[in-house]
Amino acid sequence: MKHILIVTSHFPYYGGEQFLETEIDYYCRYHNVKVTLLPLHTNKEMREVPLCARVSDFFNNQKWEEQKMFYTAKAFSLQYIYRELFSHFPIQPKKFKIFLASASLLAFYRSAFEQFIQQIDPTDDIVFYTYWHNEAAYALQSLKGKYGFGLVSRIHRYDLYEEVRPYGYMPMKRQFTQQMDTLYTITESANDYLKRTYGFNQDILVLSRLGVADHTICAMPTDKNILHLVSCSFLTEVKQVDKIIKSLKIIASRMKGVNFSWTHIGDGILYDDLLLLAENELSNLENVKYDFVGNYANDEVYEFYAKNKIDVFLNVSLSEGVPVSIMEAMSCHIPIVAPNVGGIKDMVLNGYNGFLLSNECSVNEIVASLKNMDFFKNKEIRKNAYKVFLEKYDAKRNYTGFIENIMSMAK
């Protein structure tokens, strides 16, 4: 029996990793495989998981915080720690604190996984799949030679880019560029970054995009002289939703013959501030309507797209990975306007399925893009949005191939 052990941060407990909600269902299509979800952190609320997946709360009983000093000391018995120190010598004091925490976690996970491996049925063909390439993945890489299991990882954004980390420091990663079967990236640019920055070998790097299900929804555009734009995000500073408000004020003042409608899906700490800003900036404009509808569950988002005419999906975030909100919109034939940050340049092909803004995403750029009303309503452009979804972000295609690949690595 092939046994896939999926190491997550929280999933199936709440706390992110929403792509796994879609991915996990595809494992049930295979009868010669069993799946164990192994979250490193748990909380009170848990998502439903399919019957083919078992959830192990092994790490719920492993208390790193209470034994941090012990594992920090234990870490110095590992050769990887000295390689890291020597490669960054003399290490800056602020970075040294980050290094110690990472070293302690590595030693902790190494000890815990050795205990866990003893509980696995020895007749199973095993592959560990870590959803993040972090200290848990490093620990398994350090044990792979001893136990001979298959090992693959995904890598996303926070576990990839040094510049998004405090003091631009990603501890330990350069020590773990091998000792695994495959490292799956989710954007084309990630492969080059891994080779250039950390020295990964191209042989273990494989592009495997994330995806969402095709709900076969074809959202229609609005009538002439109407522009309905939709945004979907948490209301936090990094999402820069205030720029949408400022852009709407400018374009509505210039194009008074057009009725603008904006729907924002999502809640957050800036909800009251942004609602007040919208009232101050937009309420006096007769040709603008706006609606903050709050949080929607995933099925409610698709229901909204199915029942409403929508011209364009707008993202103006300062920082992104590979936004699921853009995938969902494209799957419903909705063109995109978004900045060139994170993996968005793989999603938005400028002039083909939307407009790719600069990473600065200025208000003037947003206004200039939204003026192209005929572009957003064009049948071919809307078909192109769906084509990009099918080619790159269709869950059925992406996850079927991915699962078959990792099954072949079970040892």
CA distance 234 to 271: 9
Residue 383: CB atoms within 10 A of its CB come to: 13
Residues above pLDDT 70, as percent of the chain:
100
Determine the pLDDT at residue 410: 86
pLDDT tens digits, residue range 128-158?
999 999 999 999 999 999 999 999 999 998 9
pLDDT class of 327 with cuts at 50, 70, 90:
very high
- Whether residue 399 contacts residue 26, with contact meaning beta carbons closer than 8 Å, is answered with yes
Determine the pLDDT at residue 26: 94
Preceding peptide of 12 cis, ω within 30°: yes
Residue 353: pLDDT above 80? yes
Task: Report the candidate in 328, 106, 321 with the shortest Cα–Cα distance to residue 230.
Answer: 328
Residue 181: pLDDT above 80? yes
The strand pairing partners of 150, in sequence order, are 127
pLDDT class of 60 with cuts at 50, 70, 90:
confident
pLDDT tens digits, residue range 247-277?
999 999 999 999 999 999 999 999 999 999 9
Beta-strand runs (E) in 139-287: 150-154, 182-185, 205-207, 226-232, 259-265
pLDDT class of 43 with cuts at 50, 70, 90:
confident
Task: Report the candidate in 132, 7, 125 with the shortest Cα–Cα distance to residue 58.
Answer: 7
Cβ neighbours of residue 172 closer than 8 Å, sequence gap 6 or more:
80, 84, 102, 103, 106, 135, 138
Mean pLDDT, to the nearest integer, of 202-212? 95
CATH numbers and ranges of domains, the chain: 2-211+395-407 (3.40.50.2000), 226-393 (3.40.50.2000)
Mean pLDDT, to the nearest integer, of 237-243? 97
Tokens 């060139």 locate to 340
Determine the pLDDT at residue 108: 96
Determine the pLDDT at residue 65: 75
Mean pLDDT, to the nearest integer, of 2-22? 92
Backbone phi, psi, residue 173, to 5°: -60, -35
Mean pLDDT, to the nearest integer, of 202-211? 95
CA distance 176 to 109: 15
Determine the pLDDT at residue 197: 96
pLDDT class of 68 with cuts at 50, 70, 90:
confident
Residue 90: pLDDT above 80? no
pLDDT tens digits, residue range 298-314?
899 999 999 999 999 99
